[in-house]
Amino acid sequence: MLKWVYSFRVLIAFCTVIGLGALLSCEQETKQEMPAQVDFNFHIKPILVQKCYLCHGPDPSSREAGLRLDLEEGAIKLLESGNRAIVPESVHKSALIDRITSEDEDFMMPPPSLKQTLSEHEVALIKKWIGDGAVFEPHWAFLPAKTEKGIDKDAFSSNIDALIDEEIAEKGLKPGLKADKYQLIRRLSYVLTGLPPEVKRVKQFVADERPEAYVELVDEYLENPAFGEKWASHWMDVVRYAETKGHEFDYQIQGAWRYRDYLIRAFNEDLPYDQLIKEQLMGDMLLSPRVNPKTAENESVLGTMFFTMGEGTHSPVDVKKDEADRIDNMIDVVGKSFQGLTVACAKCHDHKFDPIPTADYYALYGVLGSTRFSPVPVGNSNLKFEKISQAAALKQKLNLCWPIPG
C-alpha cells in the first residue's frame, strides 16, 4: 500500500512538472517579442503562404470569395461583400482581422477544417503590418542591393566588401587577418586554375616587393590555359554536363566533348557573358556567328549543345510523357542557369514567390517543344546566314534569346 501511494505521488509530481512545462511553453509563445518593423517577406508572407494561399492564392481554380492575398491589388480591392480584406493603416476596417480573430466557426479564418489556426503572435504581426501600411514587397531576391548610410566605402575594395563587412559587424565578429604572400599565391592558384602553385613561382612572388607584383600574378593565372579548364568545369556542373544519357543503356551524347572544349575556349578568351548566353540559347541562328580563327569552325553553333545535356531514355513506352519530361528538364535548367530561379512550380500554378506565371512557363514550353534538334556542320568558315528565315531575322531585331521554331 505504501509503495502504491509513493508511486502515485511520483506520478502526480511528474504530471505537475509536465503541466508547468506546457504552461511555460505557451507563455513563452505568447510573449514572443514583436519586431520594431514587420518585414513582409520575413514575417508576413510565410504566414499567408502556409495559412491563406490554399484558398486565397494564385491558383484561380481553388480561390474562394474572389479574394487573392498574394497580390496587393487583390488584397485591398473591394469584395462582393462590400468590405476590403486589407485596408492599409486601418486594422479596424480590415475584414481580414475580423476573420482571423473570430471565434465563430462559420466565420473564422482559416476554417477549422483546415486545422491551420493562427497563433496570437502571428495575428499580432499581421495587425502591426496592416497598421504600418500593409506594404507588399517584392521577393527579396528581386530587390536591389543597398548598404546602410555611414559606411566608408573608400575603405573597401568594392561594394561587395562593404556589404560583407556590414554583416560581420552586425554579428559582432571581426574580419580575418590579411593573408600573407604564401597564402595569397596558394589561394589564387587554386581558385583560378585548380592547381597548386609551382615552388619556383612561389619563391619569386614572395621575394617580389613591387606593388604591381600581385596584379601581374593575377593576370598570369588568368592567361593560363588551366583557367578555362577550371572555370568551365563550374559551368558544366550548372548545365548538368555529361557524355552519356544515363538511364538503362546509358548511350553516348555524340560530340559532347565539343561542348566541353567550347566552354574552355570561351572562358580562356574572356567571352562576354551576354554573348555566352546567346550562343547557348540560339547559337545556330546568330546573323554573325563567332568563328574559331585557328580551325575555322563555327563556335556559336557549338553552344546550342547546352540543350542536349539531359537524361534520355531509349524507346520510351509513353512517347508523349518522355517528350514532356525532356522539355521540363530544359526549362528547369534554363531557369536555374541564367536566372537562378526554380520555375517548376509554374508548371501547375502561378509561382507563389517569384514573378513566374503559368502562362510564361507554357509559352517557353511551346517554343522548346516546337524546336527540332538536328546535326549542324561546324567547319564552314564562310557561314554568313544570308538565307536566314524571316522569323529568325525578326527575332534578331527584337534581340530575343529563345530558339524560334522552324
Task: Please report whether residue 10 resides in a domain.
Answer: no
| CB-CB contact of 162 with 156 (8 Å) | yes
Is residue 48 located within the same domain as residue 125?
A: yes
pLDDT for the residue numbered 114: 83
pLDDT, one tens digit per residue, over 119-169 is 999 999 999 999 999 999 887 777 777 665 555 555 555 677 778 888 898
Cell of 74: 487583390
Whether the model clears a pTM of 0.75, i.e. scores above it, the answer is: no
Is residue 46 located within the same domain as residue 87?
A: yes
Task: Please report whether residue 157 resides in a domain.
Answer: yes
Question: What is Dmax (Cα atoms) for the chain?
Answer: 105
pLDDT at residue 2 above 60? Answer: no
User: Which amino acid is residue 340, in one-letter code?
Assistant: G
Is residue 290 located within the same domain as residue 342?
A: yes
Task: Please report whether residue 262 resides in a domain.
Answer: no
Is residue 99 located within the same domain as residue 49?
A: yes
pLDDT at residue 181 above 80? Answer: yes
pLDDT, one tens digit per residue, over 309-340 is 888 888 888 999 989 999 999 999 999 999 88
- The helix (H) or strand (E) run that includes residue 161 is helix 159-170
Is residue 277 located within the same domain as residue 391?
A: yes
Task: Please report whether residue 238 resides in a domain.
Answer: no
Task: Please report whether residue 388 resides in a domain.
Answer: yes
pLDDT, one tens digit per residue, over 342-397 is 888 899 888 877 788 899 999 999 999 988 877 766 665 444 444 344 445 445 54
Domain span at residue 186 reads: 181-223
Is residue 286 located within the same domain as residue 374?
A: yes
165/157 Cα distance (integer angstroms): 11
Is residue 127 located within the same domain as residue 168?
A: no
Q: What is the mean pLDDT of the chain?
A: 83
Is residue 85 located within the same domain as residue 166?
A: no
Is residue 382 located within the same domain as residue 303?
A: yes
| CB-CB contact of 323 with 369 (8 Å) | yes
pLDDT at residue 176 above 80? Answer: yes
**Total domains, the chain:** 4
* Mean pLDDT across 27-51: 82
217/201 Cα distance (integer angstroms): 9
Is residue 275 located within the same domain as residue 351?
A: yes
Where helices occur in 31-80 by DSSP H, the ranges are 45-51, 53-56, 72-76
Cell of 45: 508572407
335/303 Cα distance (integer angstroms): 17
Residue ending a domain, choose from 165, 198, 223: 223
Task: Please report whether residue 200 resides in a domain.
Answer: yes
Task: Please report whether residue 380 resides in a domain.
Answer: yes
SS3 110: coil
Task: Please report whether residue 240 resides in a domain.
Answer: no
Is residue 304 located within the same domain as residue 385?
A: yes
* Mean pLDDT across 183-198: 97
Is residue 206 located within the same domain as residue 305?
A: no
290/149 Cα distance (integer angstroms): 45
